[in-house]
Amino acid sequence: MTTLVWLRDDLRTADHPALAAAADDPGGVVVAYVLDEESPGVRPLGGAARWWLHHSLLALGERLAELGVPLVLRRGAAARVIPELLAESGASRVLWNRRYGAERAGDAALKATLRERGIATHSFPGGVLFEPGSVVTGQGTAYRVYSAFWRACLAGPPPAAPLPAPAALTAAETQPRSDELTDWALLPTRPDWAGGLAARWVPGEAAAEAGLERFLTERAERYAAERDFPDTESGSELSPHLRWGEVSPRTVWHRALSAGVDAGMFLSELGWREFAWHTAFHAQDLHRCGLNAQFDAFPWRTEPGFELAAWQRGETGFPLVDAGMRELWATGFMHNRVRMVAASFLTKNLLIDWRVGEAWFWDTLVDADAASNPFNWQWVAGCGADAAPYFRIFNPLTQQQRFDPAGGYVARWAPESLLTPEIVDLRASRARALAAYDQVRGGGQAAAGPSAS
């Protein structure tokens, strides 16, 4: 029997349940990645994500070759391509790790179709700590508050222990044809942007393993104290590796617990990622629809004009916002504290729809995934799960004073912003936002809300 292993956002060999299950198949294995941007529920990748994918596939191809199998690349709708790969290889079994967003309806339909044709089809736990649907309230519904969700996660069995990478793989005698990666044209045409991404990141499983080790040995002890300060090197920078499945969250979890450091705060951030994916499992259109329907009528500005462009370019005149937006453009990444400030500024000071900002991050972040990116934008805007109170508006000036007090982060990314005129008055725009939220909520408590943070 020959087995086809279908890769998605799991570009690794360690703790890869589908690959592990195929490793001893006497008929050999076909390992294929399908670039599917056509099927229902699949969101086409942004520019930074496409750059990462290109280099991650190169790295994975090298690692698989070391194990004895080629990486087959094909492009198109999975419902068409997977049967083609099975026919070309003669495989009678197909395995994959599960996805938890809107794509899963297509996966379920494909599984049913293949089984009707006599193809053995199995799926395995994907890139989460706990299977979505297994952590629900007493009423069987999705949690909407993170603290309660995470307590429920921690009260149950721990995440499964990670599986080792196969020592070797046997390639199926007949391998399907493979596309050339360069023909997919994933790399950006803006060489200055690509250069910035390459200077910051090394995609691939080996880099993910090295990054996890570096974090646990050099940064984890000070993570809780320093994680909100963008001018410190205290973060794990594992988010893009997790997004592409170059390391599994189960591996991160167990390695952190065995490292002999206080990793509680770090693991709670991993839990926030988990919360986003469990939310996406129950509400699959996160990048279009707010979880709180009450905010559907929010009076976003329909013509943001030059202010949106100023935000995108990092030319707002608010140094912390500008530094973050320029870091994003240059490296495909932004410090988490600064992400919250930049998102609050766009949605609340400029009254620009959170979906506009989410789309910009989707295109420019190397770690933007279909759950965390819209989930976090909804949290800031006030329409999502465990959302920040609608009256909480991050003041970019006080945030700069608190979290970049020496000015090192701003000096690195946007020093001239200190001398740039501000595009909006903070006090007036805050009052405008509170009035808009009060209008949506039917004259609630907006006027009594706390001051900007």
Catalytic residues: 269, 272, 300, 336, 354, 377
359 vs 296: CA distance, rounded Å: 18
Residue 396 tokens read as 């970019």
Residue 250 tokens read as 């189960």
Look at the block and give the residue holding tokens 């006030």. 382
Question: Please, what is the Cα angle at 152 between 149 and 157, to 5 degrees?
Answer: 135
60 vs 275: CA distance, rounded Å: 28
- One-letter amino acid of 141: T
Residue 15 tokens read as 């703790």
What is the number of alpha carbons within 13 Å of residue 31 lying toward its C-beta? 28
Please enumerate in sequence order all residues whose Cβ is within 8 A of that of 112, keeping only pairs 6 or more positions apart, or say none. none
- Buried b / exposed e along 1-38 (16+ C-beta atoms within 10 A): ebbbbbbbbbbbbbbbbbbbbbbebebbbbbbbbbbee
Please enumerate in sequence order all residues whose Cβ is within 8 A of that of 229, keeping only pairs 6 or more positions apart, or say none. 337, 403, 404
119 vs 121: CA distance, rounded Å: 6
Q: What are phi and psi of 397, to 5 degrees?
A: -80, -45
Look at the block and give the residue holding tokens 């506009």. 356
123 vs 135: CA distance, rounded Å: 19
- 110 CB burial (10 A radius; 0-12, 13-18, 19+): buried
The answer to whether the beta carbons of residues 49 and 194 sit under 8 Å apart is no
Helices in 283-391 by DSSP H: which ranges? Answer: 306-313, 319-331, 336-344, 354-364, 372-381
The answer to whether the beta carbons of residues 166 and 19 sit under 8 Å apart is yes
The answer to whether the beta carbons of residues 277 and 103 sit under 8 Å apart is no
13 vs 17: CA distance, rounded Å: 9
Cα pseudo-dihedral 383, 388, 391, 394, rounded to 10: -120
**DSSP characters over 392-431:** ----HHHHHHHHSTT-HHHHHH-GGGGGSPPSS-HHHHHH
158: which DSSP letter?
P
